[in-house]
Chain A
Amino acid sequence: MADVHADTDRQEGDGAVKVLIESVLRLNPRSLLSNPVMAIVEMSFILVLLMAIYPQGFLPVANPGERGFYALVAFILLLTVWFSTLSDSIAERQARNTANSLRKLEEEVPCKKVVREGWESRTVQTSSSQLKAGDIILLEKGDIVPIDSEVLEGIAMVDESLLTGESTPIRKAPSDQLIGGSKITSDRLIAKVTTNPESTYINQMIRLVESSKRPRTPNEQAITVVLLGLTAIFSIVIISLLGLSLVLGLGVDLSVLLALYVCLLPTTIGALLPAIGLSGMTRLHEKKVIAKSGRAIETAGDTDTILLDKTGTITVGSREATEFIPLNGYTERDVGEAAFLASWYDDTPEGRSIIRLASDKGYIPRDLNALALAEVYEFSASTRISGVKLYIGGSLTLSKGAREIGQRLRFRKKFAESVDQPRYMAQEEEIIKGAPDVMKSRCTDIPPEYDGLVESISSSGDTAMTISREGRILGLIRLRDMLKPGIREKIQSLKMMGIRPLMITGDQPLTAKSIASEVGIDSYVPQAKPEDKHRIVLEEQSQTRVVAMIGDGTNDAPALAAADVGLAMNSGTQAAKEAANMVDLESNPAKIIDVVLLGKQLLMTRGAVTAFSVANDVAKYFAIIPVMFVMIPQLRELDVLGLGLHTAVISALIFNAIIIPLLIPLAMRGVRFKPSDTMTIFMKNVLIYGVGGVLVPFIGIKLIDLLINLIGLGV
């Protein structure tokens, strides 16, 4: 344990040293050129340093008796620049670390590589990351294609449904392309790898965002313009003050003027701007999402409409039985027991939930033992029913389903006590469950309330399933879509921030409406096919809304490309990933909401630090202006903080420098905000960072002044 601890310590230590070295190297004026504000601070440092070394050269704006003061000012100016480069280095180190951990996350798929040795060839177990283009791999039934490749030998059926949404397996013959991630459902293939793992899409994207020559986003560019504009204004102010002081003999010291200059420059935002953008990217990476550009994250913050696929985003994608509804005079127990029997061999989440509900209610069928000999009707898309045929007291024909009986024995034992003496009646009995419309055509005794009941179930957002025994309808099973935990709160926060969630679902209108209202969504598109998404995106955009969406299949690609923010699932197709501007490595569709919030947070952080930085200037004026004109003592009445000339300059400069590292954590983690309506968030931030930005430096500068006097720093 102690060893492990020491090890991590050492690692962090190494990282920290590296960051320090890097930040010092960045003090090189040439590398500061991309940050004009800091370049000016460094130039001021050099000037004041020269004043400390040779004050006589700066007469009449320097005083040879003040060399110690000049040296101190120079030191703090250098510190200011260093804090700025330090924040860059810290942000970059964090970005590197997260990017590296993302690489490891890329799924390793085990695979069989074919190695030829002379005439012989054998297969070696390896994993997808070890493969390179040109390798030959063997794919057998059940295998996942590890990486994009091309078929050399054999014909097989391949299931690409995960990637394309096409559910029927596709026949692949030599020279056909295989997509990484698809599944072989029959036979075997020999294939040649066509891409290198390091040139996979994800890897390329990580490399793209990791590079330090990240282009500035439109927003960063605009802020940079403001910073340059403010710099120009303050340059004119300072130069004219210097001129006035010289002409009118106001006795202003050049070092004091330069200190005022640096204090007025937007150094805080100038220093932190690159770090804020980079850590926004890093926070996205921590969520296992890769964005192709910083611009994509910013756009996410502007989202007006967010397209949410019902399945996977709002619901977990499976249904749960919640009620047995008897019909035709049967009891709830009759329905429950029949449902139990019909679902015994149904391994889907729905089937399991029916067994769970039946056993919770104590509806354990008497003829449980008959299941051992039952014939199983598996669900198929053509019949849309499933169930069992029981041979009660009949011959022992071993049905297909009976092979799996061993797996069920434990469960059966659990309920064995409650089973009554079985009745041996030696008769066939068919217990079927299925969609209400299909069952209607299979059964004869349709009760008059049947349609109404089915309708009312689906209008409450649930799905009805009919259960029958020997062609007679026993009743209905109510199946409810299971909501994702916390989804209602997430939808609520989206709506509060003025983002319109739009639910897309293949469900019937009534079902869709009910689920939408259950989670608080006002707009939904029922009976939607994947192709409809593109049309919806364009429709929303034509109403000048910024649209965010998720997608995974190839038929999502046009919509992903058209959407302003497209988040593709990593499990999706290459086409989808390429069309999107972000990829979620964990393939969790609900993450789109987090991405939007993160975009907002990034914009907010930038705005907050900018406002804070500019608002800070008021206090710095009040600290320095009253004392800087040595020949005009009357102005000292404005010295509300009660500072002397030297302590005013030093305190303001120290505050100006120290605020940068103090705000690094804010830049890294972003402004915290509670989802609420935009104006509330806005006013809250204005109060904290705008009004706070005016007040905090008054307090900070005074505290530093008190501290200087306390330790008796002779300035």
Chain B
Amino acid sequence: MIDAGQIIAIISILATALILGRLLSPYLVRVFTSAPQRLDRLLNPVEGWIYRLGGIDPARRMGWREYFISAFSINIIQMAIAFLILLFQGVLPLNPQGFPGLRWDLALNTVVSFATNTNLQHYAGETTLSYFSQMTAIQFLQFTSAATGISVAVAMVRGFVSGRKDIGNFYVDFVRTITRVLIPLCFIASLILVAMGVPQTLDGYMTVKTVEGATRSILVGPVASLVSIMQIGTNGGGYYGANSAYPFQNPTPLSNIFELLLMMLIPTALIFVYGRLINDRKESRPILIGAYGIYALDIAIAFIPAVALSAGMETRIGGFFSTLWTVTTTAMTTGSVNSSLSSMNPLAILAGFVGMLVQASPGGDGVGLMYMLMYIIMTVFLVGLMSGRTPEYLGMKITGGDVKLVMAAFLVHPVIILVPTVLSYATGAATSVITSSGAIGFTQILYEFTSAAANNGSDFLGSLANTPFFNISTAVVMFVGRYAPMAILLALGGSMLSRRRTSETALKTSSVAFSTVLIASIMLLVVLTFFPVLALGPILSFLQGHTAAGVG
């Protein structure tokens, strides 16, 4: 249960996130509309140099196909480079611990995981990756994956802008997102994190003598910079295997709140950016209400049980913040964790599932907005007819073609979550990695694939899942779960370009009434699709009176 003070804490964190997002949004709009900025003097030459180096014509306007192919190929190239770095880190520099190269399937899983903004980690960073790998392969992909998500979302939104003929240029969006959004934000965030006690060093691990006289190795490294991008980029992949439960990644309750806010920053800001880009700020309202409404619903589900955490829990941050973190990290599909999921109450896990399955509350950087637009079009079509008009969004009629794209995007999740879950049991791969049988074990497997499909990255299994089956299957799920919806929803945005609009829209999508219907239909569609498996997993665990770890 939750007390009044905690409710106030939640409300103030959410309110702060909303305010920060609102404050950041005008700046982001200037970035994406290439409006003059104070940073131009500094960054225009740098960006110009990058364009020249890459042979990019920044004035080129792209259709959705070209935009997607550009984004996709850049991602593939980055994956290939990162794959080679991980494979050969043993012979590469900045490896004071002398870690060997990764096995190919783990390397594949890791690069796909980071390139797709998932950051599912089948390894413990501090005992597997060199500084070089952390900084190049891992941190580099954390920047590019977040930038890809944000760029593609902005491109989709441009399709909804009245009078536009193109959805922009991927390379320009991508470069500007990194240079003007992610790097400045991470720089500021890193400084604050260092001030809060997170290490940032390239020296080797320190060996110190404890008070009792024993020798311990202190695992330091370039942690602060990684933590800032992992949260701001809704990546979630930590420096340490224990992620933000590890004191150096998240030293104090204050850093805990700060990191929560970092996760929520860009997804929230993009909602405001949406209204500004389409020149109709009130259309941000249903997305805001929808996203934060479902987020609040998740928090409510998670806090139903009397005991937030069970025995063996991480006590440094406490049950309240651990549960709030779990809900937030899934709602933003970040995937960083500050406590072991195994100690969570099944209903907190259920809330996590909802966050990942909805993937838009408010969801990961960019992708969350794209999913929410998909849900809005779906809802407008499903219920809009009841207003007595052909359903319209922003004055544009929703056609059979749009519905086809939305249904296709909607189909991705059930296919890539349910099919591999069944396959993992059918092949026996599941039973060899789960730590418990029955509902708890099933929850662990279902969570693994849901997290992979939603590009979240939090998991129960961690390095236990470092088996060829799970490395490859989750890599495929992450890949499809990232690029298939991206392509489909970009196509949807592209199809909206220069579509005939009516000036008077009868169905007021910006109304609170519609926003409520939106939340209801998102929940209905997700529940209808996943209720049976959720019943077999977290719901059954709850009914059996277990925590996810199986401790009663």
Residues in A lying within 8 Å of B, measured CB to CB: 218-219, 221-222, 224-226, 228-229, 232-233, 236-237, 240-241, 243-244, 247-248, 250, 264, 298, 301-302, 304, 497-498, 543-546, 600-601, 603-604, 606-608, 610-611, 614-615, 617-618, 621, 625-626, 629, 632, 634-635, 637-638, 673, 678-679, 681-683, 685-686, 689-690
Contact = CB atoms under 8 A, between A and B. Distances in A.
Contact of B422 (A240, A606, A607, A615): A240
A243 B426 contact: yes
Contacts of B425: 243-244, 247-248
B388 A611 contact: no
Contact of A634 (B501, B529, B543): B543
Nearest to B402: A222
Q: How large is the interface on B (under 10, 10 to 19, 20 to 34, 35 or more residues)?
A: 35 or more
B74 interface: no
B196 interface: no
Given A545-B503, A681-B388, A682-B386, A222 B407 contact: no
A690 B381 contact: no
B389 A600 contact: yes
Interface in B252-289: none
A543 B503 CA distance: 7
28 contacts: A219-B385, A222-B403, A236-B419, A237-B529, A237-B533, A240-B422, A240-B533, A244-B421, A244-B533, A247-B425, A247-B426, A497-B506, A544-B395, A544-B500, A544-B503, A545-B503, A603-B389, A604-B388, A607-B387, A608-B386, A610-B382, A614-B528, A615-B524, A618-B528, A638-B535, A681-B386, A683-B513, A690-B386
Interface string B520-551: 10001001110111011001100110000000
A218 B535 contact: no
B33 interface: no
Contacts of A237: 414, 418, 529, 532-533
A682 B426 contact: no
A683 B511 CA distance: 11
Nearest to A632: B540
Contacts of B540: 632, 634-635
A264 B503 CA distance: 38
A603 B517 contact: no
Given A247-B426, A686-B517, A225 B404 contact: yes
A715 to B, nearest CB: 23
B502 A545 contact: yes
B388 A244 contact: no
A354 B358 CA distance: 74
B535 A678 contact: no
B411 interface: yes
Contact of B387 (A604, A625, A638): A604
Contacts of B213: none
Interface in B415-429: 415, 418-419, 421-422, 425-426
Contacts of B531: 621, 625
For A222, A250, A603, A637, the residue with the greatest tally of chain B CB atoms inside 10 Å of its CB is A222
A379 B8 CA distance: 85
Contacts of B419: 236, 240
Contacts, number: 178
Given A240-B421, A608-B385, A683-B513, 12 more contacts: A222-B381, A241-B532, A302-B389, A545-B502, A614-B524, A621-B532, A625-B535, A637-B543, A678-B389, A678-B506, A679-B507, A679-B513
Contacts of B539: 635, 638
Contacts of B504: 304, 498, 545
B236 interface: no
A673 B502 contact: no
Contacts of A301: 388-390
B385 A614 contact: no
A614 B382 contact: yes
A150 B398 CA distance: 49
A600 B411 CA distance: 31
A9 B410 CA distance: 52
B417 to A, nearest CB: 9
Contacts of A673: 388
B383 interface: yes
B407 A225 contact: yes
A247 to B, nearest CB: 4
For A248, A302, A682, the residue with the greatest tally of chain B CB atoms inside 10 Å of its CB is A682
Contacts of B385: 219, 603-604, 606-608, 610
Contacts of B507: 678-679, 682
B384 interface: yes
B426 A226 contact: no
Contacts of A241: 532-533
A221 B388 CA distance: 17
Contact of B398 (A222, A224, A250, A304): A222
